[in-house]
Amino acid sequence: MRIVVTSVFVEDQEKALSFYTEVLGFQKKTDVPVGEDRWLTVVSPGEPEGVELLLEPSGHPAVKPFKQALVEDGIPFTSFGVEDVDAEHARLEGLGVKFSQPPTRFGDVTTAVFDDTCGNLIQIAQR
């Protein structure tokens, strides 16, 4: 068994696609109409056949309070691995990304947390 798709809830799929590709650097993998929404995934350019991130519409009534509670408590929705948190933090800040936690070391792991402009806090982590 392996993970092939995971998701992040987004209010606006087009806005999310722009942020996740143009700012974070992922590339679009799948874009299929599904009713009013899309099955819209992105992947790491270094692993185009790797795990897909579904930019999932957040229309279900349970999603808004769930996301709001995570943000209010400062809890990231998901985490992405990076080679160098400090360098990625500087790159993203230069692109206008807002961080709620600057690079912080926790034992052998350094993390930083940012707002993805789609209603989520996202963590980047380096081991």
For the chain, what is the domain count? 1
Confidence of residue 8 (pLDDT cuts 50, 70, 90): very high
Give the per-residue pLDDT at 14. 97
The contacts found for 45-48 with CB under 8 angstroms, 24 or more apart, are none
Q: Fill in the amino acid letter for 53.
A: L
Average pLDDT, the chain: 97
Amino acid at 44: S
Neighbours of 38 (CB within 10 A): 18
* Per-residue confidence (pLDDT) for residue 4, from 0 to 100: 97
Taking a C-beta distance cutoff of 8 angstroms, is the pair 50, 43 a contact? yes
Report whether 8 contacts 77 (CB < 8 A): yes
pLDDT for 1 equals 97
CA distance 21 to 28: 7
The domain in which residue 43 lies consists of 5-126
Structure tokens at 90: 């500087």
**Average pLDDT of the residues in 86-90:** 98
Task: Specify the CATH number for the domain of residue 56.
Answer: 3.10.180.10
pLDDT tens readout for residues 56-66: 999 999 999 99
